[in-house]
Amino acid sequence: MTRVLFEYGDQIDAGQRLLELDAADVLRSRAEAESAWLKADAEADRMAGWEGGVEVRRATRTIAAAEADLSDLETKIAETQALLERGLVPWSEHEGLLQQRRQREAALVSAREDLAETLRRAGAGERRLASLQRAVAAAQYDAVRDGGDGVIIAPQGGVIVRPESQGESADKVVRTGGRVAKGQSLAVIASTAALDVVFTLDELDLNAIQPGQKA
């Protein structure tokens, strides 16, 4: 923090400047939030158009190539079978083609499994997750995008008090030159528009108390 413009117990007005943060830290946080949002947005779009994306097209082409190779080999096997029956080629040549067919059939099965796995990577759950991550990143970016130059303004008037969770250590943190963590609570503005007072009253004094009576 470059400047702390309040002390606990001060009466403040809405719109009053309370803190000034290091501009470099603010710009860095804003850039990080924007980068995270852009990445999450791109990933959600990629998931939404997954069926026509690069990975699916590549897997589909692999299947088409494997099917074409197997089809060509089947033609060669049929031709060799005819020649074998006429005694024009040795059995070893025909057996070699049969071995190749088994290999290419296995390659085709593997290619189809790869396509199924590729499609599964963009199932309903994965798309929902990408959409949620984009929403979270967008909310985080919105929270810092319009944060000005690191000036914290009081959203309402009241008395500024120490957060209960920090106890006595808070006044050691909220000081010029001090560092704070993301999400850390530094102060609470207690509204003075309405106050509730809790006290103990003896039964004998009940009749002496009237609405609107001054203390």
* Count: domains in the chain: 1
pLDDT mean values, one per 10 residues, the chain (215 residues): 81 86 79 93 91 91 96 94 90 93 95 93 89 93 74 85 62 65 78 72 75 70
Query: Tell me: the pLDDT tens digits for 117-175?
Result: 999 888 888 889 999 999 999 998 887 776 566 778 888 888 888 887 654 444 455 77
Question: Which pLDDT belongs to residue 82?
Answer: 92
Q: Is residue 161 part of a domain?
A: yes
Q: Is residue 209 part of a domain?
A: yes
Domain range spanning residue 206? Answer: 1-21+150-215
CATH number at residue 178: 2.40.50
Question: Which pLDDT belongs to residue 171?
Answer: 46
Residues 6+ apart with CB under 8 A from 175: 1, 4
Question: Which pLDDT belongs to residue 215?
Answer: 60
Sheet architecture: strand order including 3-4: 3-4, 17-20, 151-153
Question: Which pLDDT belongs to residue 78?
Answer: 94
